[in-house]
Amino acid sequence: MYYLYTTLTILVILFVLSCKNNVKTNDRETKFSTSIVKTSFGKLSNGQDAELYTLTNNNGMKVSITNYGGIIVSVWVPDKNGIMADVVLGYDNVSLYEKNNPYFGAIIGRYGNRIAKGKFSLDGKSYQLATNNAPNHLHGGNKGYDKVKWDVAVFDGEEPSLVLTYMSKDMEEGYPGNLSNKVTYTLTNDNAIKIDFEATTDAPTIVNMCNHSYFNLNGGKSDILKHSLQIFADKYCAVDKYLIPLDGLADVAGTPFDFRSFKNIGAQIDANDIQLINGLGYDHCWILNQNSADSMILAAVLQDKESGRTLTVETTEPGIQFYSGNFLDGTIIGKYGIKYNKRSGLCLETQHFPNSPNRPDYPTTVLQPGEEYRSSTVYKFGIIR
């Protein structure tokens, strides 16, 4: 009887342990199935609700995106000691983005960067866009893609993704054609944010979309001047005082624009160079050495030795706009009460070249009916090895 009782006891214990293990497995499955969490992000001025979607990968990296402007609100990644920090600039609620947003984290469109005097011609017809960055057009106009509410579809799974769609109507902000836009954010398990842009049109138009996140790999503890940057480009677009490209392409060799090897951003940013004077620092488009619209190429690598964090940028685009946060002036109080002074963050915007619609020598940004606009960029975070 004693042995029977002991045997039954052992079986009961094994059964309980098995149940507990099943509960833990189910807990893991439950956690996995909620790797995208939707929360309220406040109300817009028109009374509409804005939502915040937080994606989490298997490493605990978190990315929060709002359906207002498709804005990347936060990106939490570890440093060399495994300590997490938010490495993008932004606000705590949607109303602040709506009131005063220098494009923090936003989807930019229809046309990223500048178009001279807001004018271009297409198929013999002239178009006038808003000159919201006088005397030029900038980042889609007065109400670009950064200022609209996008529809959202959530795709949970091994690598969670968020699909945002928006229909830009014919002549919205002066652009011809009804343009159907889709942007997919995917958080991968190698700590990368993959962004896929797609669009189709029912009439000839121009398209040049990008993401406008401001990065600071030390989590905002200091400015970005001690970050080191490498850009895989031998040439860049020199610009006039209005930041419109001059004729031809400029060589980076022997100039403050040579980032072919790692260089501290602050090393030459205040040099007596007309291009730095025109841009108030770096605000230029680099022409990537390799380009393929069908495959990813390495565009740039950013490092912060203090935190040990790195950011690698890959893209299908021909250019990358490096903007060193020159117009931040300390008047913006961002997340966590941090004041955004000059050069508190930097942008690495993958795109076609500024003013391309008026430059037949540049790769075209024209999209025709029956064609599909596709562009992909990957922002991958890591640790200096």
What percentage of the chain has pLDDT greater than the value 70? 90
**Stretch 197-222: mean pLDDT, rounded?**
97
Reported pTM = 0.90
Spell out the CATH class of 38-383.
mainly beta
Residue 94: strand, helix, or coil = helix
Find out whether 300 and 232 touch, Cβ atoms under 8 Å. Answer: yes
Which residues are annotated as catalytic?
212, 349
Please state which of the ranges 3-12, 95-104, 178-187, 322-331 shows the lowest mean pLDDT.
3-12
Quick one: CA torsion of 137, 140, 142, 148, rounded to 10 degrees?
Answer: -170
**Stretch 136-158: mean pLDDT, rounded?**
96
Which long-range CB contacts under 8 A does 314-317 form with residues at least 24 apart?
314/377, 314/378, 314/380, 315/288, 315/350, 315/375, 315/376, 315/377, 315/378, 316/291, 316/292, 316/374, 316/375, 316/376, 316/377, 317/210, 317/288, 317/291, 317/350, 317/351, 317/352, 317/375, 317/377
**Domain locations in the chain?**
2-33, 38-383
Looking at residue 157, its pLDDT comes to 84
Find out whether 256 and 365 touch, Cβ atoms under 8 Å. Answer: no
At residue 293 the predicted structure's pLDDT band, cuts being 50, 70 and 90, is low
Of 307, 289, 295, 288, residue with least CA distance to 348: 288
At residue 253 the predicted structure's pLDDT band, cuts being 50, 70 and 90, is very high
